[in-house]
Structure 1
Amino acid sequence: MAGKFTTVAPVKTINAGFQLADGQTVGIAAPVIIQFDSPISDKAAVERALTVTTDPPVEGGWAWLPDEAQGARVHWRPREYYPAGTTVDVDAKLYGLPFGDGAYGAQDMSLHFQIGRRQVVKAEVSSHRIQVVTDAGVIMDFPCSYGEADLARNVTRNGIHVVTEKYSDFYMSNPAAGYSHIHERWAVRISNNGEFIHANPMSAGAQGNSNVTNGCINLSTENAEQYYRSAVYGDPVEVTGSSIQLSYADGDIWDWAVDWDTWVSMSALPPPAAKPAATQIPVTAPVTPSDAPTPSGTPTTTNGPGG
């Protein structure tokens, strides 16, 4: 049978990528991030094509964060920290998917990763100390110095940060604070606003008694190295007692600074419909009418669910 068909070339295709590597082991607060190389007009269509499967099952949700210069981005995080040892599989069926305005998805993607041990950093700024906590208890308890807070830019931000990078040697610059290309050791990045946990011998006299930094958390060289060697991508760092909240202005991962109700409202899809209320069974059965028929014969037993 003869026939013909026509195809329509897409106006453009949009590429995407994960921030995690396939097979990576991460901390209990690591979000899933999909970064696109262009803005997306039909975010709902894209979100419907994304699935996350965890073992054991955990509650989580997608949220569209404000577009960055390179394009749209969508994050998925669990409602609470992952249990240690959770496996996570992400499936993005994006190839040929209409993204709106004549754009289509360039490729399908999948990702498998696992959650490692549970490790949380507790960082109360008024204590001038930092604690590293695992399921075994407090495994590190170090004197430190937080942001001086004389200026807003020097305040160590309040809220749950996430470890994203670490460097045994790092050169720091802060023109507003008057320094450039300063060599620091054992630097663990916890925010893209310039916050690190790192060694700083220059603040040794303040560590444990006062906050004097430009926003970083300063440790001794020995203590910084010990913490550095324990840290992995996705570990939460819970800063409390500070005057300024971590927010969108502070970098790419501020997911845990958003309360859960707000987070789910940032989805492009409507919330799932509420399940109807279960029929209530009365505690006391009604009285049998006096004129009701009396059963006779042999009753029949049927095996049903739960039988």
Structure 2
Amino acid sequence: MIERRTVFRAAMAAGSAGLLAACSGQTGGTAEVNQAHVPPKAQLTADPAVNTKDVSVVKPVTVTVKEGTLTEVKLTNADGAEVKGELNPEKTTWTSAEPLGYGKTYTYSAKAKGSDNKTAELTGSFATVTPAREVRATLNPVDHAEVGVAMPISVKFAEAVTDRAAAQRALTVETSTEVEGAWAWLSDRQVDWRPKEYWPANTQVNVSAKLYGVHYGNGAYGKADVTTTFTIGRNQVVKVHTPEHRMRVYRDGNEIANYPCSNGKDADPNLNTPNGTVIVMTREPTSIFDNERYGYTDLEKKWCCRISNHGEYIHENEENRANIGKANTSHGCINLLEADAKAYFDSALIGDPVEVTGSKANFPTTSDVMDWLLDWETWKSMSAL
């Protein structure tokens, strides 16, 4: 799309008195006619120009005058409603102050008084872009959430994003404490931001995704802006070294709990509790577990904290009491005694890190929550900018 800036000059029509004077042949009559036909000095320009198509809905519309001041500017939609706008202090530029609608026609009209005291006028219309598809995005954590120190910020799109750089440029993260972090695309529908190290405790975070009007490629555009404000809670980290059969909980680096546990079977890498840093994803007072391959369905367990989309949880398993603290016999979950599982459940926040070591297998990087399974250099390389 090529846009041209259009310049308008308003001509002053000659009155009948001026014409009579010109015909009389009296001195000064011709000068009056010439003066009447001199165009105003004020020059009005608009961006976008008259009849421009496919105009961005977020780029501000401007009306500018040279050699004069603006006296009136209106930008209206097809229903006649005016678009908000502001004049600069010199009254030489008017700028729209709100986004436009997709697939709409807008009309502007403006007047300016020039240094010669003559009035110049501008009128015209333009049309905004019509998306082939409007794509919705969601943002997590949600507003006012309190989360753990490993919680990533995640933007998910309803369909694949072709122009990832354009989408990423619309994303900003502001923190109350300086935090080094970066965006990384985990798929063509998801981009996450995580800090280089765990978040500082009690950090306030504001995220803005100004995605309305952003072209994702192939005619798809952002449907709406999304924002969130959340808080990082206390620093709590879970550490499990699977051969020890213990689950240790640390606050600010100090051990505050040490629970006996039974982890995934050591002999079978498919049943290990895998190595890696994951996060508490959900807190479920009860959960139903099914795995027909290993002979159980509709198995209900209490005080369950999901730690991956690979199937691992921290949960109560009184049926495995004989092995808790002694042997690794689960199918990948971290089994606790009921009282310990309840105590841990009550202490946990979504986004708390869980660090697992000592297993034969590593967590796969196929989950949509695998942010801490990647080293920092790899993470940064997954940015689109």
- Aligned partners of 2:125, 2:203: CA distance in 1, in Å? 51
Match for residue 146 of structure 2?
Answer: 25
1:143-162 equivalent positions in 2, closer than 5 A: 143-162=260-279
Match for residue 227 of structure 2?
Answer: 110
Following superposition, the deviation at residue 209 of structure 1 comes to 1.4
Q: For residue 191 of structure 1, give the secondary structure of its aligned residue in structure 2.
A: coil
Following superposition, the deviation at residue 8 of structure 1 comes to 3.1
1:240 aligns with 2:357: yes
1:194-205 equivalent positions in 2, closer than 5 A: 194-205=311-322
1:9 aligns with 2:130: yes
Match for residue 296 of structure 2?
Answer: 179
Runs of 4+ in 1 over 3 A off after TM superposition: none
1:59 aligns with 2:175: no
- Aligned partners of 2:169, 2:146: CA distance in 1, in Å? 26
Following superposition, the deviation at residue 136 of structure 1 comes to 6.9
Following superposition, the deviation at residue 45 of structure 1 comes to 0.7
Contact kept, 8 Å, 2:365 with 2:373, in 1: the verdict is: no
1:44 aligns with 2:162: no
What's the CA shift string for 1:122-168, capped at 9, x where partnerless? 11001100001002721110110000033332111101010011111
Determine which of 308, 320, 328 is the counterpart of 1:211: 328
Q: Where does structure 1 lack aligned partners over 5 or more consecutive residues? A: 270-307
Following superposition, the deviation at residue 79 of structure 1 comes to 0.2
Q: What percent of counterpart residues are identical?
A: 44
Q: For residue 117 of structure 1, give the secondary structure of its aligned residue in structure 2.
A: coil
- Aligned partners of 1:242, 1:234: CA distance in 2, in Å? 23
- Aligned partners of 1:146, 1:192: CA distance in 2, in Å? 17
- Aligned partners of 1:225, 1:7: CA distance in 2, in Å? 56
Following superposition, the deviation at residue 11 of structure 1 comes to 0.8
Per the normalisation by structure 2, the TM-score is 0.67
What's the CA shift string for 1:54-73, capped at 9, x where partnerless? 11010000000024xxxx00
What is the CA RMSD across the aligned residues, in angstroms? 1.2
- Aligned partners of 1:15, 1:177: CA distance in 2, in Å? 39
Q: Which amino acid aligns with 2:214?
A: L
Q: Which amino acid aligns with 1:133?
A: Y
1:158-173 equivalent positions in 2, closer than 5 A: 158-173=275-290
Match for residue 226 of structure 1?
Answer: 343
What's the CA shift string for 1:96-143, capped at 9, x where partnerless? 111111111111111110100110001100110000100272111011
Q: Which amino acid aligns with 1:32?
A: I
- Aligned partners of 1:197, 1:7: CA distance in 2, in Å? 52
- Aligned partners of 1:58, 1:4: CA distance in 2, in Å? 46
Q: Which has the higher contact order (CA 8 A, sep 6+)?
A: 1
1:213-292 equivalent positions in 2, closer than 5 A: 213-249=330-366, 251-269=367-385
Q: Which amino acid aligns with 2:195?
A: P
What's the CA shift string for 1:168-211, capped at 9, x where partnerless? 11111112212111011111111111101111111111111110
1:284-303 equivalent positions in 2, closer than 5 A: none
Q: For residue 239 of structure 1, give the secondary structure of its aligned residue in structure 2.
A: strand
What's the CA shift string for 1:268-305, capped at 9, x where partnerless? 11xxxxxxxxxxxxxxxxxxxxxxxxxxxxxxxxxxxx
Q: For residue 5 of structure 1, give the secondary structure of its aligned residue in structure 2.
A: strand
What's the CA shift string for 1:17-49, capped at 9, x where partnerless? 013210100000000001100001100011111
- Aligned partners of 2:356, 2:129: CA distance in 1, in Å? 53
- Aligned partners of 1:125, 1:224: CA distance in 2, in Å? 17
Q: For residue 153 of structure 1, give the secondary structure of its aligned residue in structure 2.
A: helix
- Aligned partners of 1:95, 1:66: CA distance in 2, in Å? 21
Q: For residue 160 of structure 2, give the secondary structure of its aligned residue in structure 1.
A: coil
- Aligned partners of 1:179, 1:150: CA distance in 2, in Å? 20
Determine which of 233, 250, 257 is the counterpart of 1:140: 257
Following superposition, the deviation at residue 248 of structure 1 comes to 2.1
Q: Which amino acid aligns with 1:129?
A: R
What's the CA shift string for 1:199-228, capped at 9, x where partnerless? 111111111111000000001011111001
Judging by fraction of residues, say which structure has more strand: 2
Per the normalisation by structure 1, the TM-score is 0.84
